[in-house]
Amino acid sequence: MRPVKPVHPVLVVIAHGSRDARHAATVHALVRRVRSLRPGLRVEIGFLDFNIPSVHGVLESLAAEGVRDVVALPLLLTRAFHAKSDIPAVLRDAPPQLRIRQADVLGPSPLLLSALERRLYEAGLGPADKSSTGVVLASAGSSDPEAIAVIAEIAREWRHTGWCAVRPAFASASLPRTEDAVRELRALGCARVAVAPYVLAPGFLPDRIARGAGEADVLAGVLGPAPEVARVLLERYDEARMPLPAALGA
């Protein structure tokens, strides 16, 4: 019996991959939540490195099944090197019979801010604590100026939702580090300081963020399979599969 072709494009979530087993486990948990939110959608996972299946292997398997339409979604929070270079290069090597649309990265999104607050509240804070709490928005870091600027803008936007102060920090490539941002918020006079990791899954850099949060009062968990993150994935999928607007005058 021949496999039934999906009515909608298959969603292929492209994750970075890690030697840390927690990374892949978290990615799979997030994808399970995406599937639960949209049961009729086929969702596959491909990894750029370290874990299997590889992105290339997933695309080859889909093509062999007769699938033709795919939305490739980078499991990334900012448009840095992987989104601009690595992933397009992998997709260019895909089987030619596949029609692949690359979705945008997840951030920025108001839903991700909601997910950050969810993790802070799960770590012990409440809405009444916002005005007296300074927050470190701790991301993995990047050498890409666009990605750094996005993190800084998210911090500014989040500050306007009622927190005492919000400062960006980076685990690699950029400054300040998490521990320096914690000390800055202390010096500003915030009654308590919380660290909110703006990362999707555990691993080497999130562990570095956690070590830098040693002097903070609260350390939130990674975004992981938060329902808001799953909803952002579906938003990006829907945006990518929409037909392109017709050219003016066509």
The number of residues in the chain equals: 250
- DSSP-derived 3-state class of residue 116: helix
Residue 18 pLDDT greater than 60, yes or no: yes
Between CA 61 and CA 12 the distance in angstroms is: 12
Residues 162-218 have pLDDT tens digits of 999 999 999 999 999 999 999 999 999 999 999 999 999 999 999 999 999 999 999
Predicted pLDDT of residue 245: 52
Mean pLDDT of the chain: 94
Residues 69-128 have pLDDT tens digits of 999 999 999 998 778 889 999 999 999 999 999 999 999 999 999 999 999 999 999 999
Asked if 183 and 213 touch (Cβ cutoff 8 Å), the reply is no
Residue 5 pLDDT greater than 70, yes or no: no
The structure's pTM equals 0.93
Between CA 95 and CA 72 the distance in angstroms is: 14
Q: How many CA atoms lie within 13 A of 90 on its CB side?
A: 26
Cα-Cα-Cα-Cα dihedral sign, residues 16, 72, 155, 133: negative
**20-48: average pLDDT:** 98
Residue 4 pLDDT greater than 90, yes or no: no
